[in-house]
Amino acid sequence: MKRPPVGLLAFFVLAVSPAMLLAGEENLVPLATSGGRLIFDIQEGIALLKQAEAAGGEPTRAWIDGLPPVPLWTLTILDSNKNPHTVTALDGQPAVHASSGMQLVLEWVGIQPGNLRVLSTVVVRENQYDWHIEFELRDPGYTLWDFIYPEIGPLALTENDHAIVPYGWGVLHGNPRGRRSGGVYPSASWAMPFAAVSDGATGMYLGVHESAGYFFTFFVGKRQGHEDASLGVRHAVENMGHATRWRMPYAVTTVLFPGDWYESARIYHAAAKKTPWGNIPPLAERADIPRWLLDTDLWFVGSCHDEATSNQVIEFADYFQVPVSAHIYQWHEIPFDDHYPEYFPAKPGFQQAVEKVQQAGIAVMPYINGRLWDPATESWKHQNAETACAIGENGEKYIEVYGSKVPLSPMCPFTELWKTTVTNLVDRLLNEVGVKAVYIDQISAAAAKPCFAEGHGHPLGGGTYWIQGYRDLLQRCRRIQPPGTALTTEENADPWNDQLHAWLMVNTREEGGEIVPLYPAVYGGRAISFGFQYIQGDDFTYRFPFRLKMARAFVFGSQLGWVGTQVLQESNQAEARYLKALCQARHASRDALQFGELLPPLALEGGGTVSWTDANYTSHTQPAVWGTAWRTPAGKLKIAFTNVADEERTVTFSLDSRHIREFPDKSMHLLAEDKTIVVTCKSHQPGLWQGAVTLPPRSARVLAAQN
């Protein structure tokens, strides 16, 4: 028997079953999974999510704080004069329908303005809750714009709670009641479509698991205009300002789970495998990724357009003695961030410099921008580019200004002109100049611009056109690629994982939080990242900022560097030697750090810290020793350690059954690749093993479990 559409559920379900109500609480309706339960409070005139309880703890962890009420949904409606009106689930009295303890259906009718009807459904599916909603405006003259659904709150928070945000690598933000984290998926600010909160032992996850390619705005933390916090997602309606009916064509998923950021990542890891971009195979099985890219340990960034600059690239690679690739800027005669996309002609010596460097075994990857056109160019006028740029709700093109101070316009990737323009640039670089890769900037980094151009052939405002437009653009580029070449972009938003080959990761900032390898916990061993953060001007002056960026890139599994010749200056010899040690350790254990699966975080104790004071007299303190555990494709456990301090440090680490599938009876040996370190792990308490490793100053070691 086929299940009726969500929009018809209210007609098939007659009333709330008494069994669905909590004993002694006639207005409380629970929905339960193995991870906990959601309890809805259906009072006179309103329906609230009264509680989200995570199972397994003593006492049970409650994630909802009671009052003030937080609406389950918030909708923006436009009237005939295009004036916005905000209505919420608190503005009308819902009718309640439920067929069993596996779902709850709420219906609101007659909300003004617009004589609005809303149908909201929450369905239990295995260990998760799926939220569905639809809207219908019955009075003429009113249209739908965007909406928030669900919004879960007010969150019950303690000093140990933190928000889990997929910003770049992944960031944990403490005190969610005091700050609001938000961003558009897909972009650098929200690379994967989920958010979560956790106290370290239990958490609540909210994600959108869909494969058509919609964009959303997630938020977690302080509610605007309130003192409390919430967790939710904002959706754009297709044909914003024109549609009068909208059924959300996907579900929003909530999971109550044991654990922290790693476990939240694994929830999305399983869900993403049902999408084209998340179902990418292990790197070792991807025939479309060239061998030189899989082998790269270190990235140079700088110029390569004449004899002098090409020699610098070769000298850089000669020093580090591992496979190096080169990310090349300023290869064109036009200034940077100016006159895009008129990159050709290239500087006169560019092609010869590329040939020289690549003959030395160093792949060259020049920069182009995959998103911006300069309206002051001749090509803008001659190709009538204004017809292909993204148009805002006011009917005007978007304008963005960067360091060049030149106004630039984001283009709509759904248009034929922009797809052709970028594909032709990639074609010339790969097939005419002969570079090994092209870096197409901003595709993953910059958020989708809701486009309201009526001549582009896509819905206005919301829809799948931004993601699908770029997917088609990249597919065209892949069709003209010669063998052994690659396409890369800035940052790691995941809807293009299967169309690109590597991601430059440099934009993640702590901003009062803690950077964690959330993205590698989802895509480790299946996606290539390079870099970690931008190298700032004073990073070498204070030493530790540079070392810490390289250290975390190493233990997070990233290809190292994205650094230029300044690291080889005489004043930076200590940093160059440290980076070389990281490169060599990575090269020897690429089976784990490049091709392996990131395991749950290690508990590290005793490694100490490093501190420095910057030019603004701000003091900084960070751990001196960093470490992560990996499982290679062959099933071997490897643990990567690095010490950024100028002194020897000894660190104690803990392993459990998540790291070791079968424990030996008494002890286990972990050996360094160079056989100079032997670590014996002895049983400390049931289910927990501990060991210690001593690391020389500015060193890296990878320990491998011996069978």
Mean pLDDT along residues 597-613 = 96
Query: Is residue 535 one of the residues assigned to a domain?
Result: no
Asked, for residue 432, whether it belongs to a domain, the answer is no
Range name among 260-274, 588-602, 632-646, 676-690 with the lowest pLDDT average: 676-690
Q: Which amino acid is at 550?
A: M
pLDDT at 9 over 50: no
- Looking at the predicted structure, is the pLDDT value of residue 472 above 50? yes
User: What contacts 120, CB < 8 A, 6 or more positions away?
Assistant: 72, 73, 89, 105, 106, 107, 108, 131, 132, 133, 149
Whether 676 has a pLDDT exceeding 90, the answer reads: no
Interatomic CA distance for residues 547 and 559, integer angstroms: 15
What pLDDT score was predicted for residue 464?
Answer: 98
Those residues with Cβ within 8 angstroms of residue 670's Cβ, 6 or more apart along the chain or in another chain: 637, 639, 678, 679, 681, 691, 693, 703, 704, 705, 706
Chain position carrying tokens 């702590």: 510
Give the torsion sign (CA, 658, 662, 664, 669).
negative
211 part of a folded domain: no
* Domain of residue 656, residue span: 603-705
CATH at 608: 2.60.40.1180
DSSP class per residue in 170-236: -EEEE-GGG-EEEEEESBTTB-SSEEEEE-SSEEEEEEE--SS---EEEEEEEPTTSSSEEEEEEEE
- In 516-587, DSSP assigns E strands to 529-530, 560-563
Which DSSP letter does residue 23 get?
T
Report the predicted TM-score, pTM, of the whole model to 2 decimal places: 0.94
Q: What is the mean pLDDT of the chain?
A: 92
Per-residue pLDDT at 677 = 53
SS3 15: coil
Average pLDDT over residues 612-626: 95
Over pLDDT 90: what percentage of the chain? Answer: 84
> Can you tell me the distance from the alpha carbon of 68 to that of 59, in angstroms, rounded to the nearest whole number?
24
> pLDDT tens for residues 78-132?
999 999 999 999 999 999 876 577 899 999 999 999 999 999 999 999 999 999 9
**Measured torsion, CA atoms of residues 388, 216, 559, 333, in degrees rounded to the nearest 10:** 20
The proportion of the chain whose per-residue pLDDT surpasses 70, expressed as a percent, equals: 92
Q: Which residues on adjacent β-strands are paired with residue 53?
A: 37, 62
Instruction: Give which of 75, 157, 153 is closest to 117, Cα–Cα.
Output: 75
Q: How many domains are there within the chain? A: 1
pLDDT tens for each residue of 523-554:
999 999 999 999 998 999 999 999 999 999 99
SS3 649: strand
pLDDT single digits (tens) 316-329: 999 999 999 999 99
Among the ranges given (48-62, 272-286, 688-702), the one the predictor scored with the smallest mean pLDDT: 48-62
Q: What are the structure tokens assigned to 388, written together?
A: 């292909």
The one-letter amino acid at 42? I
Q: Per the domain annotation, does 337 fall within a domain?
A: no
* Domain-located, residue 679: yes
For residue 625, which phi and psi values (nearest 5 degrees)? -115, 135
Q: What is the pLDDT of residue 514?
A: 97
Q: Where are the alpha helices (DSSP H) in 236-337?
A: 261-272, 291-295, 307-320
Instruction: Give per-residue pLDDT as tens, 234-260.
Output: 999 999 999 999 999 999 999 999 999
- Find the radius of gyration of the CA atoms of the chain: 27
Specify the amino acid at residue 255. V
- In-domain check, residue 96: no
Residue 616 inside a domain? The answer is yes
For residue 686, whether the previous peptide bond is cis, meaning omega lies within 30 degrees of 0, is no
Q: What is the distance, to the nearest Å, from the Cα of residue 261 to the centroid of all Cα atoms in its chain?
A: 13
pLDDT digits (tens, 9 = 90+) for 351-396: 999 999 999 999 999 999 999 999 999 999 999 999 999 999 999 9
275-300 confidence digits (pLDDT tens):
999 999 999 999 999 999 999 999 99
**668 in a structural domain:** yes
Task: Report, as an integer, the average pLDDT of 470-478.
Answer: 98
For 621-631, what is each residue's pLDDT tens digit?
Answer: 999 999 999 99
Backbone φ and ψ for 565, nearest 5 degrees, come out as: -70, -10
Both tokens assigned to 410: 């984001």
Q: Is 558 helix (H, G, I), strand (E, B) or coil?
A: coil
Question: Residue 28 has what pLDDT?
Answer: 86
Q: Quick one: pLDDT at residue 568?
A: 97
Q: Residue 663: its pLDDT value, please?
A: 56
Please tell me the predicted confidence (pLDDT) of residue 369: 98
**Distance between CA atoms of 479 and 438, rounded to whole angstroms?**
14
Check pLDDT > 80 for residue 617: yes
* Cα separation, 210 vs 252, whole angstroms: 9
Return the pLDDT at 540.
96
